[in-house]
Structure 1
């Protein structure tokens, strides 16, 4: 599995940062805004719930960009590089590389712009008001995007069923917390309907609509009695593809 995905219980990683300040630096707000605009213009919204008229938007952005895109970029980083940088620095690198890979900007152009604004931090940023894009962003922030579907398949497990979490091959992106792999649990809730994911994760097993379960785990089964508080239950929402019948 990717070392940097869901690090619960990993020893000697260092103290947990409990800072409640969302944005430490002013530029981080802009990175969050860029990501939000990209999601609001994403081509997948044409088939999302609710559907949006993205094909008619006056924009040159014609790609799919979701939370999965952002997470794939971060999880694909070399682990030592991943731990070197702060949260929004990872966002910045992932988004920048995406625009380079898709041909929206060249690495040379980005480097030139970087030199320009480092030399003159107060230089004006491009200002191109676009009422249609602004309306789309507002609609997206209000209505969101849902992966909910009617059941594509009957749930394999019911409430109270004993299950074991699988250990699928590591891929660029996963929604399976690393510390739950191969752990036993109990289905606590079967969510109504089925849920798809933004992208297919290939051998990881998710993408198309499938049942989702809330699974309860004894903390001691995950981290051992000596490292767990007694009578502690951990809950996780897991796609059907990640669960196996107990051995």
Structure 2
């Protein structure tokens, strides 16, 4: 979550959109459906806690695709482009680039298909998913891909501890909001068990399953007393890799 993604407290970014619609345009529903189907077919589900028959699934999609994949694509955008495009336009760009990079389709083929459907908006779309894939999508939507693991050791911190958020080296994808780096808060809760993320973030620190904490921050500690409403608390769920003892 780099600068352009978690922008709490940054000024002069223009008016805030108050549009509460989940989908502002009909085509956005299709993008969401494509992403969901890719997650349900993701090769990593062969080793998920719930036993999915991924290896026997009749599909040509053989890659890993998770929320992390989608977010990594968006975070790789040039910041000015990020602010220019709508939410699902960013999804569309990231998904399309993934299919090109992974070799499922060439950039030229994608341009050709795009031009065809722009010129023929009523043309028939590719076949619908087969019955086995439909069943897999339904199962995934109901059971998901849990990141929960049984505990192996006691968490480093306990409820009530004062902690300081780490400032790790920037990486392609992180689960640490930028505005919390180096901020001090108090552990509000320690979630039972350990939790993993979809991918390792490398030197950022999130890899093997680890405890997760709910940390409470005084808003003034983050944005300063002049830019915060009094008596306001912000809560963040943080992997243990991002939490340090307060000095």
Q: TM-score range by the shorter chain?
A: over 0.9
Structure 1's 112 and 204: CA in aligned 2 closer, same or farther, altered over 3 A? same
- Paired residue for 1:76? 76
Could you tell me whether the CA contact under 8 Å between 2:40 and 2:136 is conserved in 1?
Answer: yes
What does 1:71-220 correspond to in 2, within 5 Å? 71-220=71-220
Whether the aligned pair in 1 keeps the contact of 2:2 and 2:177 (CA below 8 Å) is no
5+ residue gaps in structure 2?
A: none
Q: With the length of structure 2 as denominator, give the TM-score of the two structures.
A: 0.97
Q: How many angstroms apart in 2 are the aligned matches of 1:72 and 1:168? A: 17
- Looking at structure 2, the residues matched to 48 and 20 of structure 1 have their Cα atoms a distance apart, in angstroms, of 34
CA deviation after TM superposition for structure 1 residue 129, in Å? 4.2
Contact 2:194 2:210 in 1 (8 A): yes
Q: In angstroms, what is the RMSD of aligned CA positions? A: 1.1
SS of the aligned residue for 1:139 comes to: helix
Shift of 1:128: 4.1
How does 1:32-71 map onto structure 2 within 5 Å?
32-71=32-71
> Which SS does the other structure have where 2:115 is aligned?
helix
Cα displacement (A) at 1:2: 2.5
Give the whole-Å Cα distance in 2 for the aligned partners of 1:223 and 1:132: 51
Q: Deviations over 1:153-208 (max 9, x none)?
A: 32100000010001111111111111111000000000000000000001111121
**Which consecutive aligned stretches of 4+ in structure 1 deviate over 3 angstroms post-superposition?**
none
Query: 1:53-88: CA deviations, max 9, x gaps?
Result: 101100010111000000000011111111111100
Which residue of the partner structure matches residue 230 of structure 2? 230
Partner secondary structure for residue 156 of structure 2: coil
**Partners of 1:217 and 1:3 in 2: how far apart?**
20
Count of aligned pairs: 247
Could you tell which deviates more after superposition, 194-203 or 122-131? 122-131
Contact (CA 8 Å) 1:31, 1:92: kept in 2 or not? yes
Corresponding position of 2:239: 239
